[in-house]
Structure 1
Amino acid sequence: MSITHLLILLVVVVLIFGTKKLRNIGGDLGGAVRDFKKGLDGGEEAPKPTDPNASLRADPPPAGPTQTQNQHDTTEPK
C-alpha cells in the first residue's frame, strides 16, 4: 500500500466522520490506553476527581424524622 492510498483513505475518513469526531475518538482511545497501562502496572488507586471542588458540593445527608411530628398516645387512662 503506497502513501497515496493512505492519503486517499485519510481524506475519505475525515469526510465521513469529520475532524471534531476524530479528535474525540482519539482522546477517548488515548485515555483507554492510559488506563490499560495503569492496570497492567498494578495502579489500583481510585481515579481522582477532575473537579477539585466536587467534595465541597456533596449532597447533604437526608434529614431524619422531625421532632415536631405528633405522636399519639395509645395507652388508655386508668
Structure 2
Amino acid sequence: MGIFDWKHWVVILIVVVLVFGTKKLKNLGSDLGETIKGFRKAMNEEENKPAEPPVQPGAPLNPPHTIDAQAQKVEEPARKD
C-alpha cells in the first residue's frame, strides 16, 4: 500500500470531474491530442528536411564585403541669429 494506491487515483479522478466537469475534460483531451499530433508532425518535418551544407573549418561565417560609396560635403544653410 503506497502513497498512490489505486483508491487514491479514483478519489482524485472524482474530484477533478466534479471541479472541471466532463465537457471541459473532453475538450482538454482533444486539445492535448491535437497538440501531440502537431508536435510529432513538426518533428517528422525537421527530420525530413535536407541538411545544411557543412561549414568548412576556418571559413568566416560572414565573409567581408566592401561598400563602394563616395562621401560628399553638404552645405548647411546659414543660420540667422
TMscore range, shorter length = 0.5 to 0.7
- In the alignment, which of 33, 40, 47 is matched to residue 30 of structure 1? 33
Identity level (%): 44
Letter of the 2:16 counterpart: V
CA RMSD of the aligned region, Å? 1.0
CA distance in 2, matches of 1:31, 1:13: 22
Correspondence 1:40-51 to 2 at 5 A: 40-42=43-45
CA distance in 2, matches of 1:15, 1:8: 11
CA distance in 2, matches of 1:6, 1:40: 33
1:21 counterpart residue number: 24
Give the TM-score normalised by the residue count of structure 1: 0.54
2:5 counterpart residue number: 2
Shift, 1:21, TM fit = 0.3
Letter of the 1:12 counterpart: V
Largest Rg, 1 or 2: 2
Instruction: Give ranges in structure 1 of 5+ residues lacking alignment.
Output: 44-78
**How big is each residue's C-alpha offset from its partner over 1:28-65, in whole Å with a ceiling of 9 and x where there is no partner?**
0000000000000007xxxxxxxxxxxxxxxxxxxxxx
Instruction: Give ranges in structure 2 of 5+ residues lacking alignment.
Output: 47-81
CA distance in 1, matches of 2:45, 2:37: 13
